[in-house]
């Protein structure tokens, strides 16, 4: 049996910027919620909800890199990588609840508009924009090296656009007096959040259900393994994710008698790594098909 167990270099990079970004967004989240209630702005509350998604995303990213340091143990032979997907699932369910509440409140505001303190609205949103720009700067370097950090970076980037929209809405309401702009923008932000939330839930669910990771073609993997010299057949092929960026594979390879099994294992692991980005593989080498095998 051959095994490829390369889980990464074990060095957690860019953890300090994550802590700073989390502190900034988490601290300002509280200020933005208070500001939304003081100004009466639903759009500002909607933007605060989006800031909350950033805080959760950064927390998940930080927990994931921290847990990645913990080795497997007797009870969790794969370690704690799945905590990332579990946290993302909780994150997504909370986002659905918040977006639903904002959309419900927006309907009420259309029916019965409320007075909005536009000066406070744009001032709080402007501070939020500054926080987002600083967080983006902190996370930019790591976003090109880690899918986990890239997701957090994109969360903050999209929230920056929401802050710009709230500032524009506050200025427009101040000049026109059209209070309907506030709930309309809240609906727009809510509808912006929902598809991203669904995508998050779908990806987390795929990891937890041990689905084939996005970007990996199972048939192509089978063809590549079957095309190796000495391999007669591939069966019991399974590809799943330990985490969002940690695909794993197991397979049975029927090989011709007399071949160099160690060389074949090395060639298979190299092909999986180079062509499909799979570093963790378990290969069972057989000279005849096992009775319980199924394709």
Is residue 76 predicted with pLDDT exceeding 90?
A: no
| Within-domain flag for 90 | yes
Query: Looking at the structure, do residues 129 and 251 belong to the same domain, yes or no?
Result: no
> Of 174, 208, 242, which residue sits at a domain end?
208
> Of 185, 208, 231, which residue sits at a domain end?
208
Query: Looking at the structure, do residues 48 and 133 belong to the same domain, yes or no?
Result: yes
pLDDT band at 295 (very low <50, low <70, confident <90, very high): very low
pLDDT tens for each residue of 94-129: 778 777 877 887 888 787 777 777 788 788 888 888
Structural domain that includes position 125: 2-208
The mean of the pLDDT values for the chain is 80
Check if the beta carbon of residue 291 is closer than 8 Å to that of residue 28: no
> Of 159, 185, 208, which residue sits at a domain end?
208
% of the chain exceeding 70 in pLDDT? 87
- Distance from chain centroid for Cα 159: 15
pLDDT of residue 26: 86
Tell me which residue of 15, 51, 16, 20 sits closest to 135, measured CA to CA.
Answer: 20
Query: Looking at the structure, do residues 172 and 230 belong to the same domain, yes or no?
Result: no
C-alpha distances in angstroms, 249 versus 17, 260, 276? 33, 22, 11
pLDDT of residue 68: 66
- The whole-angstrom separation of Cα 25 and Cα 132 is 7
pLDDT average, residue stretch 16-35? 84
Our count of domains for the chain comes to 2
Tell me which residue of 141, 146, 207, 155 sits closest to 11, measured CA to CA.
Answer: 146
Check if the beta carbon of residue 40 is closer than 8 Å to that of residue 180: no
pLDDT of residue 174: 85
Query: Looking at the structure, do residues 150 and 25 belong to the same domain, yes or no?
Result: yes
Query: Looking at the structure, do residues 197 and 231 belong to the same domain, yes or no?
Result: no
Query: Looking at the structure, do residues 239 and 157 belong to the same domain, yes or no?
Result: no
pLDDT tens for each residue of 49-74: 777 877 877 887 787 777 767 778 88
Looking at per-residue confidence, does 292 or 212 come out higher?
212
Query: Looking at the structure, do residues 151 and 244 belong to the same domain, yes or no?
Result: no
| Within-domain flag for 227 | yes
Looking at per-residue confidence, does 289 or 204 come out higher?
204
Report residue 192 as tokens.
Answer: 């912006």
Query: Looking at the structure, do residues 31 and 163 belong to the same domain, yes or no?
Result: yes
For the domain that residue 222 is a member of, what is the CATH number? 3.30.70.1350
% of the chain exceeding 90 in pLDDT? 18
- The whole-angstrom separation of Cα 185 and Cα 44 is 9
pLDDT average, residue stretch 286-291? 70
- The whole-angstrom separation of Cα 2 and Cα 238 is 15
| Within-domain flag for 295 | no
pLDDT tens for each residue of 222-247: 999 999 998 999 999 999 987 767 88
Check if the beta carbon of residue 91 is closer than 8 Å to that of residue 157: no
Is residue 204 predicted with pLDDT exceeding 60?
A: yes
Is residue 181 predicted with pLDDT exceeding 60?
A: yes
SS3 212: coil
Check if the beta carbon of residue 82 is closer than 8 Å to that of residue 207: yes
Is residue 5 predicted with pLDDT exceeding 60?
A: no
| Within-domain flag for 97 | yes
For the domain that residue 18 is a member of, what is the CATH number? 1.20.1510.10
104 C-beta neighbours (distance < 10 Å), count: 10
Query: Looking at the structure, do residues 38 and 160 belong to the same domain, yes or no?
Result: yes
Q: Name residues whose C-beta falls within 8 Å of residue 267's C-beta, 6 or more positions apart in sequence.
A: 228, 229
Is residue 144 predicted with pLDDT exceeding 80?
A: no
Is residue 269 predicted with pLDDT exceeding 80?
A: yes
- Name the H helices within the chain: 15-39, 42-67, 83-111, 118-143, 147-176, 181-208, 218-226, 261-276
pLDDT average, residue stretch 35-55? 78
Q: Name residues whose C-beta falls within 8 Å of residue 61's C-beta, 6 or more positions apart in sequence.
A: 18, 148, 149, 151, 152
Report the C-alpha dihedral over residues 285, 243, 68, 24, rounded to 10 degrees.
170
Query: Looking at the structure, do residues 83 and 147 belong to the same domain, yes or no?
Result: yes
Is residue 48 predicted with pLDDT exceeding 60?
A: yes
The length of the chain, given as a count of residues: 295
Report residue 142 as tokens.
Answer: 């790591």
| Within-domain flag for 236 | yes
pLDDT of residue 115: 74
Specify the pairing of strand 2-5 against strand 280-286. Answer: antiparallel
């Amino acid at each position: 049996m051959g095994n490829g167990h390369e889980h990464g270099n074990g060095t957690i990079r860019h953890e300090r910027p994550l802590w700073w970004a989390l502190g900034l967004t988490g601290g300002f989240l509280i200020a933005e919620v208070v500001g939304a209630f003081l100004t009466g702005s639903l759009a500002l509350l909607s933007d605060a909800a989006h800031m909350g998604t950033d805080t959760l995303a950064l927390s998940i990213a930080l927990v994931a890199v921290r847990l990645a340091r913990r080795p497997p143990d007797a009870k969790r032979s794969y370690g704690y990588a799945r905590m990332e997907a579990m946290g993302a699932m909780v994150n997504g369910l909370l986002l659905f609840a918040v977006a639903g509440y904002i959309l419900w409140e927006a309907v009420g505001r259309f029916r019965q508009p409320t007075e909005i303190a536009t000066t406070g609205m744009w001032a709080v949103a402007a501070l939020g924009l500054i926080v987002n720009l600083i967080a983006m700067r902190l996370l930019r370097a790591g976003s090109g090296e880690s899918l986990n950090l890239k997701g957090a970076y994109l969360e903050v980037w999209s929230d920056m656009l929401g802050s710009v929209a709230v500032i524009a809405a506050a200025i427009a309401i101040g000049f026109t007096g059209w209070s309907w702009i506030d709930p309309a923008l809240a609906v727009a932000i809510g509808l912006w959040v929902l598809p991203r939330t669904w995508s998050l839930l779908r990806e987390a669910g795929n990891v937890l259900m041990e689905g084939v990771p996005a970007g990996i073609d199972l048939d192509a993997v089978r063809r590549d393994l079957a095309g190796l010299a000495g391999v007669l057949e591939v069966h019991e092929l399974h590809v799943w994710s330990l985490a969002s960026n940690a695909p794993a594979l197991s397979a049975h390879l029927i090989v011709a008698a007399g071949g160099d099994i160690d060389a074949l294992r090395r060639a298979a692991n190299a092909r999986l790594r180079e062509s499909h980005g799979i570093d963790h593989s378990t290969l069972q080498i057989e000279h005849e098909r096992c009775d319980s095998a199924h394709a």
